[in-house]
Structure 1
Amino acid sequence: QGGRISFSGQVQNYQSAVEQLVSILGDEDAAANHLSQCIFTVGMGSNDYLNNYFMPAFYDTGSRYTPAQYADDLAARYTQLLRVLYSYGARKVALIGVGQVGCSPNELATQSANGVACVDRINVAVRMFNQRLVGMVDQFNRLLPGAHFTYINIDGIFSDILRAPGGHGLKVTNRGCCGVGRNNGQVTCLPFQTPCPNRNEYLFWDAFHPTEAANVLVGQRAYVARLASDVHPVDLRTLARL
């Protein structure tokens, strides 16, 4: 597997790319005009909860921070890096909220009593972070000239899907299509493992990640909001027209 690049590392890579773009287009004004027409999507936070805050065997953040303190710390770091993106030309930015981590097959397998009920304490903690993203969007749009930030409410969209999965073409919401153990979520999909034959009917592909079918549902509602709560303040189609 390849290594992960931190958000700060990705922002540094973006800064380098912008410098190259300036050279290609000839000057900073041309680059700024080009970048102002682009849509940037930024989705961060899932691993900070899945693979850090709620992983006490490896990290002590869960004991050092309350959920509110942890959300504040993440949001503060996030804000700094988004300001760098803005200073390097990003104007239309969609912040992708963190989904229902407490409903993933891994959390259901390890922390749900019946393997069906989502782990509320995890989802409550994640929602604290998402609430700060909404505030961040409002602040950027108010204070940064030319900024058009929006928030995609993955948590809310997933909640809507879970309330009526059949209406969204899904049949299995608490097990991975590919995985090992309880809920196919104790060990994620292994190399050469045979997945389920009907992946389009599953919400989750493996212990952590949604299927393509689920991502299509989310993508459609991010682009054209079905409910007012799907986005804040605008969907991606509207953002593109600004």
Structure 2
Amino acid sequence: MALLAVLLPSILSVLAAAQGISMFVFGDSLVDDGNNNLLDSIAKANYYPYGIDFSQGATGRFSDGKTTIDDVLCDLLGIPYLPPYTAPGLNGTQLLGGVNYASAAAGILEETGQHLGERFPVNQQVLNFESNLSQLRALLGEDIRGYLARSIAIMVLGSNDYINNYLLPSLYSSSEEYTPEEFANLLINSYRRQILALHSLGLRKFLLAGIGPLGCTPNQRFWGEAQPDQCIDQVNAIVGLFNRGLRSEVEQLNINHSGAIFSYGNTYAAIDDVLNNPANYGFTVVEKACCGIDLGSQAQITCLPFTSPCENRTEYVFWDSFHPTTAVGSIIAQRAYSGPPSDCYPINVQQMVQI
């Protein structure tokens, strides 16, 4: 049994690759990336007291359990949970099912999140992916081209470029240097270069997730002194500029690269629907974070280590001051996987797999 437990992840990865299902994730949420920055420390210290059950595959990355992309979407696709790029001994057949290159505090811009310590911005994540290709080529030989063309690249970026850059004027000058429209264009232009770099390396199926309504997070409600039941509309309007730009970019990428498929994941709409209709999804708390110290109308701006979380986690929209709970993550993942074009445009992940 012990030997089977050791071999099982590699066996599952091989089976997933044989079925043509592999997933590579690039983003800003991974904490076990070996950088040991401030966010890593907070999240890792929270694992034990928050009762996260790792035996069920939960990663616990700024979450009360499974994450939207890695764990929940992996479940829907029927593939093993993705190892992080820095996982000890990651090589060979373990790579075949896919890898998560995401990094906590990372952004599209290299300077984003620099006050939080070491992290892998998206340009470095692309380089990390490229560093694994030699091992994959050794395993697959001439089949590498077909393997990469069948694989799915999930890209979840942009939130940190606002939370830990543009909306943090005390540490970053970007909001003084760029109008909201200019900053959104800067992000899209930088993002495009990294997307096309991955395309040049052989990936052909891309899910590009938009940013959620950041103005509705407990952090922004608190600092923006929002009225009860109100979000910070100005912040949501700024985020909307990026989302509209990304959706337009998806349309242009599909026109310019006929042998590939790019889809836009409407994260904003999914979370906005939950916030406006919480009872429909079984949620009762939309303004406060499950993990945080109650300051009255809002929750604390950070999730401190060893702080006891709420007991009814499934009733909360937000786990900490920024991130949704696993319950919300499951909704986002399901919409990306099988939702209509209003959720995932022009096609969803399930349809993408079948191409």
TM over 0.5: yes
Q: Does 1:195 align with 2:309?
A: yes
SS of equivalent residue, structure 1 residue 26: helix
Structure 1 residues 183 and 24: alpha-carbon distance in aligned structure 2, compared to 1, 3 A threshold = farther
| Residue pairs, 1:2-81, within 5 angstroms | 2=40, 3-27=118-142, 30-81=143-194
Aligned partner of 2:327 in structure 1 is 213
Tell me the distance in 1 between the aligned counterparts of 2:288 and 2:234: 20
* Contact persistence 2:341–2:348 (CA under 8 A): no
Aligned partner of 1:164 in structure 2 is 277
Q: TM-score, normalised by structure 1?
A: 0.95
Per-residue CA distance 1:113-153 (angstroms, 9 max, x = gap): 32431111111111111111111111111111411110000
Tell me the distance in 2 between the aligned counterparts of 1:199 and 1:158: 17
SS of equivalent residue, structure 2 residue 342: helix
User: Any gaps of 5 or more consecutive residues in structure 2?
Assistant: 1-35, 41-117
| Residue pairs, 1:139-158, within 5 angstroms | 139-158=252-271
Tell me the distance in 2 between the aligned counterparts of 1:113 and 1:44: 26
* Contact persistence 1:184–1:207 (CA under 8 A): no
Give, as a single letter, the amino acid of the residue that structure 2 aligns with 1:62: S
Aligned partner of 2:349 in structure 1 is 236
* Contact persistence 2:226–2:232 (CA under 8 A): no
Q: CA deviation at 1:16?
A: 1.1
Aligned partner of 1:133 in structure 2 is 246
* Contact persistence 2:185–2:242 (CA under 8 A): yes
Structure 1 residues 183 and 23: alpha-carbon distance in aligned structure 2, compared to 1, 3 A threshold = farther
Structure 1 residues 80 and 176: alpha-carbon distance in aligned structure 2, compared to 1, 3 A threshold = same
* Contact persistence 1:224–1:237 (CA under 8 A): yes
Per-residue CA distance 1:37-77 (angstroms, 9 max, x = gap): 11110000000001110111111111111010000000000
SS of equivalent residue, structure 2 residue 288: strand
SS of equivalent residue, structure 1 residue 151: strand
SS of equivalent residue, structure 1 residue 40: strand
Aligned partner of 1:84 in structure 2 is 197
Q: CA deviation at 1:228?
A: 3.8
- Structure 1 runs of 4+ off > 4 angstroms? none
Give, as a single letter, the amino acid of the residue that structure 2 aligns with 1:212: T
Give, as a single letter, the amino acid of the residue that structure 2 aligns with 1:217: I
* Contact persistence 2:218–2:301 (CA under 8 A): no
* Contact persistence 2:286–2:318 (CA under 8 A): yes
* Contact persistence 2:221–2:298 (CA under 8 A): no
